[in-house]
Chains A and B, each alone.
Chain A
Amino acid sequence: MKNRLKVLRAERDWTQADLAEKLDVSRQTINALEKGKYDPSLPLAFKIARLFELKIEDIFEDE
């Protein structure tokens, strides 16, 4: 699954550690998400969407 996490994070000038901090996950998890190596669960996807104040489908895109 593609996602815009890296772009959204860069727009806000956040580091991976900053984003990990806000989502209460490890930095390694953010890295895996951004590289598309891990698809988040629905609760984590909602948490990400709430953080960026976007809809899930505006962040994640089915390939």
Chain B
Amino acid sequence: MNNQETYTKRNMTNSVSVVKWSMLWAITLVIAAALNRFMGPLSFVIIAGLVVVHLVFAFGALKAHQVWLRGLDEFQKQIQLHSMAFTLGMTWIAVILMMLLSSLELIEIGQNHLVFLSVYMAIVGAIGTVFNNRKSS
């Protein structure tokens, strides 16, 4: 196997790992919501089990992301750094704006806003990555 195959294969393997762990992490949310809806109030043991499994998958996803980042070459790392900085900045803007709107009593921050923030961060991160990729090539 030559080096390029190694780089490509390494990148592909790491990307698959990120997707796998992230999916598992997200699925625990769905399972928790479904159990709560269809089985009524859950016992402490089930809730504790769900939280533990959720955190295991969360840290698995975090670790997978770190491995994926370490596997990138220096140019790709720079692109990711820029897109992460963009995502962080845009998230701060959104959070502070939501706090402003909340303090003006125009919105009441609830769970749906947290969901919105998660989706917003994912979309902004994707836009930042695409933009930085296009700008650099």
Interface of A toward B, CB cutoff 8 Å? 17, 20-29, 31-33, 35, 37-38, 40-41, 44
For B78, the chain A residues whose CB sits under 8 A away are 38
Q: Taking A28-B137, A37-B137, A38-B136 as contacts, is the C-beta distance between A17 and B76 under 8 angstroms?
A: no
Question: Does B111 count as interface, using CB distance less than 8 angstroms?
Answer: no
Q: Are A21 and B2 in contact, with the CB atoms below 8 A?
A: yes
Q: How far is the CB of B21 from chain A (nearest CB, A)?
A: 23
Q: Are B74 and A32 in contact, with the CB atoms below 8 A?
A: no
Interface of B toward A, CB cutoff 8 Å? 2-8, 11, 73-76, 78, 133, 136-137
> Which of B3, B5, B11, B136 contacts A22, CB < 8 Å?
B3
When A and B form their complex, what is the total count of cross-chain residue pairs whose Cβ atoms lie within 8 Å?
49
Q: Are B6 and A44 in contact, with the CB atoms below 8 A?
A: no
Once bound together, how far apart are the Cα atoms of A22 and B136, in whole Å? Answer: 22
Mostly, the A contact residues are helix
Q: Are B4 and A29 in contact, with the CB atoms below 8 A?
A: no
For B136, the chain A residues whose CB sits under 8 A away are 28, 32, 37-38
Mostly, the B contact residues are helix
Q: How far is the CB of A57 from chain B (nearest CB, A)?
A: 20
Q: Taking A32-B137, A37-B137, A38-B136 as contacts, is the C-beta distance between A21 and B4 under 8 angstroms?
A: yes
Q: Taking A32-B136, A32-B137 as contacts, is the C-beta distance between A26 and B2 under 8 angstroms?
A: no
Once bound together, how far apart are the Cα atoms of A40 and B78, in whole Å? Answer: 11
Q: Are B74 and A40 in contact, with the CB atoms below 8 A?
A: yes
> Which of A21, A22, A28 contacts B75, CB < 8 Å?
A28
Q: Are A24 and B6 in contact, with the CB atoms below 8 A?
A: yes
